[in-house]
Structure 1
Amino acid sequence: MAHITTVALDADDTLWQNEQFFRLTEQRFTALLKDYTDAPDLSDQLITAVTRNLSFYGFGIKGFTLSMVETALEVTDHRVPGTVIAEILAAGRELLSHPVETLPYVDQALSHLQETHRLILVTKGDIFDQERKLAASGLAEFFAAIEIVSDKTPATYARIFAQHTDGADRTVMVGNSLKSDILPALAAGGFAVYVPHELTWPYEHAEEPVGEQRYARIEHLGQLPQAITSFDSR
């Protein structure tokens, strides 16, 4: 019988809104370029550039901003005015100043689980931005450990489980990304709870596990305590 003692949680679009600000910036990006290119798939080209550049810039706002600049140059054959590049850079900086809006049931779920479990935060992206958002969220006090990582792989989770938990078989990872939060945590031997968000970056899409006893799906974090209890009873 499983007995979960540690709950690891993702941050962006699990604890607070994130992707919506990238979508708004993407719309601003396409509007800035509409007079300089007739490319019909600017958003797709931007996503391609961001994905291509992950190995160079990693996840986060800085890589997204540099990819917007790169895409603007590519689709205009380097004819885009410097003023537009300046606007794109400004849009990237504004991403770093959006207010942090926690998602429904976050405070209630963390307050409840803190009484019975060790909570750790496992998030990826730019350290500066993630630390800013965590501080602004007011949620830092709930977590016994905070891990800001460059990527989420089975090896990443294996290290975190070994360092901060009673073992993978006593740990559940909670997040909105099947690719980054769920599948690699399961591969590392942990449990996983998927909390879908209405906006998910295409890079994070993956197929849900089928027939996996260490996996659960919930609609919001208010259902998380019950999901963890269900693991303990299996």
Structure 2
Amino acid sequence: MKKIETYVLGMVQVNCYVLWQDNHVLIIDPGTASSKLMKDIDDRGGIVDGIVLTHGHFDHIGGVDALVEHYHCPLYMNAWDKDMLKDAYLNASGAMGLPEIIVHTKPQFLDAGKHTIGVFEFQFIYAPGHSSGCSMILWDENLFSGDVLFAGSIGRTDLPDGDMGKMRNSLRIFKDLDPSIKIYPGHGPVTDLRCELQQNPYLNM
């Protein structure tokens, strides 16, 4: 059985997604080391196959080291954002005047295309603009869009490493996707692509 659970974490309320496939778990964007998230997984005997980051900004990475230590699981991300893990300016924790967030876990890198992590099969979609390595995860009919696409909006491009030109190119990806897919963004409510294609002004630029 497949299931998606959402944990809203941290001061900027990032959506951390916990994907279940039978008793296996894949964690997307753990913004903080949530004791509730870990207790929920542990109480159900979850086996964590890995952690996947959509990008390297502070609000998406803050819980990585604690989860890796607890579950002894690998970390995956796009290589273009690897320097963000160890640079508080690049990951924007320094730029925001917040306590610096540094990740010590060494990541493994995913290129665009189909991948298998444990029991999870998904497509990794490269979509730079919000950051150089920004990527999305398509699992069946569910797209985890990170900070590329939100309900009615898109990710900002004024942080270090943002690029509006690249973002415009990345937004064209949505024209080629099945409009019936559900969008699970990095912040805010779940939406669907058909609605965003009709109503999101940034998809009609």
TM-score of the superposition, structure 2-length normalised?
A: 0.37
Larger of the two Rg values belongs to structure:
1
Of structures 1 and 2, the one scoring higher in RCO (CA 8 A, sep 6+) is: 1
- Higher normalized helix content (fraction of residues): 1
- More strand by proportion, 1 or 2? 2
